[in-house]
Amino acid sequence: MSITETRPQISLPDLLNRVAQLNSGDLEQFVSQVLTLRAKRVATSISKQKTDILEKINRGLDKETQNRYNDLVAKRQTEMLTNKEHQELLNLIEEIEQVDAERAQALIDLAQLRNSTLSHCDRSHALRGNDP
């Protein structure tokens, strides 16, 4: 049989009444500790969001796809592209456009997370994951 520890529940008004009885020094310490607790909770949530967003921003094509795209573009420039390769190139362009659209949305999401606008979001910071 397991023993479950139960903590006495205290209502918010009761907690505030007890806090009101603290001396100034203890009140300052309490407020500081509450703000630290709040910051940790917010940071954990924002860090996960930010990590997910930065992964989307930095996601690119895999090396094989990028190399194939480069080869097809080079063939197109030398006018050596077959009809089949031309269709493959068009499909790759659509894939790249989709990745770019997702990246743009992630940049917008990052700007919102930072309470900024995309035009104010320093892209070099966004790519490195640093806050402005």
Beta strands in the chain (DSSP E): none
Q: Find all residues with CB under 8 Å of 120, minimum gap 6, and list them.
A: 111, 132
Q: First-to-last CA distance in the chain?
A: 53
Q: Which class for 18: exposed (0-12), middle (13-18), buried (19 or more C-beta within 10 A)?
A: exposed
CA–CA distance, 104 with 110 (Å, rounded to integer): 10
For residue 94, give the nearest of 65, 56, 64 by alpha carbon.
65
Q: Looking at the predicted structure, is the pLDDT value of residue 132 above 50?
A: no
Residue-wise pLDDT tens digits, 40-92: 777 676 778 888 888 888 888 889 999 999 999 999 999 999 999 999 999 99
DSSP labels for 7-19?
Answer: PPP--HHHHHHHH
For residue 61, give the nearest of 82, 81, 85, 91 by alpha carbon.
91
pTM above 0.75, yes or no: no
Residue 116 gets which letter from DSSP? S
Q: Is 59 left (phi over 0), alpha (psi -120 to 50) or beta?
A: beta
Residue-wise pLDDT tens digits, 17-52: 999 998 988 888 888 888 888 877 776 767 788 888
Do 114 and 121 meet the contact criterion of CB atoms below 8 Å apart? yes
